[in-house]
Structure 1
Amino acid sequence: MDLAEELQSLSVSDILKESISIPKQSPKTFYLITLTLIFPLSFAILAHSLFTHPIISQLQSDSPAAAASDWSRLLIFQFFYLIFLFTFSLLSTAAVVFTVASLYTNKPVSYSSTVAAVPSVFKRLFLTFLWIALLMVGYYIVFLGFLVLLVYSVDTQNVGLFVFSILVVFTLFLGVHVYISALWHLASVVSVLEPVYGFTAMKKSYELLRGRTYIGFSIVFGYLTICGVINGIFASIVVHGGDDYGVFTRIMVGGFLVGVLVIVNLIGLLAQSVFYYVCKSYHHQTIDKSVLYDHLGGYLGEYVPLKSSIQMENLDA
Structure 2
Amino acid sequence: MDQEQEQMQFLGFFGIFKETFKIISTYKEIFTKISLSIILPLSFIFLAHIEVSEYLFGKILDNEDIRDQTPQNTRKYSTLSDLISSEWTYFWVFKVAYFIFFLVLSLLSTSAIVYTIACIYTSKHITFKKVMSVVPKVWKRLMVTFVWNFIIFFVFNLLALVVFACWVAWVDFTNTGVLILIVLAIVYVVLFIYISVVWHLASVISVLEDDYGIQSMLKSRELIKGKTGVSMAIFCFLNICFITIQVGFESHVVIGKHSLVVRTIYAILFFLLLSVLILFGLTVQTIIYFICKSFRHENIDKSLLANHLEVYLGDYLPLKSKDVQLQNFDI
Same fold (TM over 0.5): yes
- Look up the match of 2:296: 283
Matched, 1:233 2:248: yes
Specify the code of the residue in structure 2 equivalent to 1:58.
K
Q: Is the 8 A contact 1:297 1:303 kept in 2?
A: no
Q: Deviations over 1:111-141 (max 9, x none)?
A: 0000011111112111111111111111111
**Identical pairs, percent:** 35
Q: Distance in 1 between matches of 2:319 and 2:296?
A: 25
- Look up the match of 1:46: 47
Q: Deviations over 1:270-306 (max 9, x none)?
A: 1001100110111111100000000001110189777
- CA drift at 1:247: 1.3
- Look up the match of 1:9: 10
Q: Is the 8 A contact 1:3 1:104 kept in 2?
A: no
Q: Distance in 2 between matches of 1:304 and 1:76?
A: 37
In structure 1, which of residues 223, 239, 249 is the aligned counterpart of residue 262 of structure 2? 249
- CA drift at 1:23: 2.2
Secondary structure of 2:9's match? coil
In structure 2, which of residues 205, 213, 226 is the aligned counterpart of residue 198 of structure 1? 213
Q: Is the 8 A contact 2:114 2:286 kept in 1?
A: yes
Q: Distance in 2 between matches of 1:128 and 1:205?
A: 11
- Look up the match of 2:183: 168
- Judging changes above 3 Å, is the alpha-carbon distance between structure 1 residues 166 and 248 closer, same or farther for their aligned structure 2 residues? farther
Consecutive unaligned residues of structure 2, counting only runs of 5 or more, are: 68-80
- Judging changes above 3 Å, is the alpha-carbon distance between structure 1 residues 2 and 32 closer, same or farther for their aligned structure 2 residues? closer
- Look up the match of 2:148: 131
Q: Distance in 1 between matches of 2:48 and 2:318?
A: 42
Q: Distance in 1 between matches of 2:43 and 2:250?
A: 14
Secondary structure of 2:172's match? coil
- CA drift at 1:82: 0.5
TM-score normalised per structure 2: 0.89
Matched, 1:90 2:107: yes
- CA drift at 1:14: 0.6
- CA drift at 1:85: 1.1
How many residue pairs get aligned? The number is 313
Q: Distance in 1 between matches of 2:215 and 2:260?
A: 50
Q: Is the 8 A contact 1:124 1:191 kept in 2?
A: yes
Structure 1 range deviating more: 201-210 or 38-47: 38-47
- CA drift at 1:4: 2.9
Q: Is the 8 A contact 1:230 1:257 kept in 2?
A: yes
- Judging changes above 3 Å, is the alpha-carbon distance between structure 1 residues 200 and 51 closer, same or farther for their aligned structure 2 residues? same
In structure 1, which of residues 201, 206, 214 is the aligned counterpart of residue 229 of structure 2? 214
Q: Distance in 2 between matches of 1:2 and 1:256?
A: 33
**Higher CA-based Rg:** 2
Q: Is the 8 A contact 2:8 2:295 kept in 1?
A: no
Q: Is the 8 A contact 1:44 1:85 kept in 2?
A: yes
C-alpha RMSD of the superposition: 2.1
